[in-house]
Amino acid sequence: AFFLEFIFLLFSRFSEIKEGDVVRHDGKRSDGYLEHIFKHAAKELFGMDVKEITYRALKNKDFQEVTLEKDGETVLRFAAAYGFRNIQNLVLKLKKGKFLYHFVEVLACPGGCLNGKGQTQTEDGKPDKALLNQMEEVYAALPVRLPETNVYVQKMYQDWLEGMDSRKVQETLHTNYSAVNQTASSLDIKW
């Protein structure tokens, strides 16, 4: 019932949105939540106001890293991994205990969502770079609005979640992680 109440509230709130209300988050493409989270974490955790971030390609253009340094020490390390090969490599590093990242943005399509199947391909299935560039320009032209300043999001926090710092927010939107004992199973997925 709680989930159904949320879905109803969500649809009723967003059915009020008009075309002029469409906004985007930080980032140059539709897959740029990493940028918003990075800037927010830098400010909240280290008091640093980051205006622009620089992606550094590592093994290929679909595996990039963003770092924040403070007093000569790397304090935040984020990665963007697009495509299954890069995702598999991240999972392997995680299993081996060689995972260096605080946050990873993962997208199955190489090049990101706008480059996915059925998006920017020509009729013969090849990438349509002109259409991709046009879609990125249209997206970049939308005004940026931080999620925390969105009146619809604020109203949902107030009406449904009983305020920003409520017990309901902690129970619904936050989680805790703990180590899990590994057991051999025939259902294990091998990457």
Residue 74 is part of which domain span?
21-114
Per-residue pLDDT reduced to its tens digit, 64-73 = 899 999 999 9
Both 32 and 104 in a single domain? yes
Looking at the fold, whether 155 and 75 belong to one and the same domain comes out as no
- Most confident region among 8-17, 136-145, 179-188 by mean pLDDT: 136-145
Split into its structural domains, the chain has a count of 2
Per-residue pLDDT tens over the stretch 25-63 = 666 565 568 888 899 899 999 999 998 888 898 888 888
| pLDDT, position 78 | 94
Using alpha carbons, list the distances in angstroms from residue 9 to 13, 20, 137, 144, 155.
6, 21, 32, 24, 10
pLDDT single digits (tens) 111-167 = 666 655 556 677 777 777 787 788 778 777 777 777 777 777 788 888 888 888 899
Q: CB of 142 within 8 A of CB of 32?
A: no
- Rounded to an integer, the average pLDDT of 65-86 is 92
pLDDT for 169 beyond 80: yes
Cα 174 to Cα 25, 167, 168: the distances in Å are 21, 10, 10
Query: Any idea what the CATH number is for the domain that residue 59 is in?
Result: 3.40.950.10
For the whole model, what pTM was predicted?
0.65
43 is a domain residue: yes
Q: Return the pLDDT at 23.
A: 63
Examine the domain organization and report whether 78 and 152 are in the same domain.
no
Of 114, 136, 159, the position where a domain reaches its end is 114
- Which residues, listed in sequence order, are joined to residue 56 by a DSSP beta bridge? 65
What's the pLDDT at 2? 47
Pair (85, 155) in one structural domain: no
The residue from 68, 96, 114 where one domain ends is 114
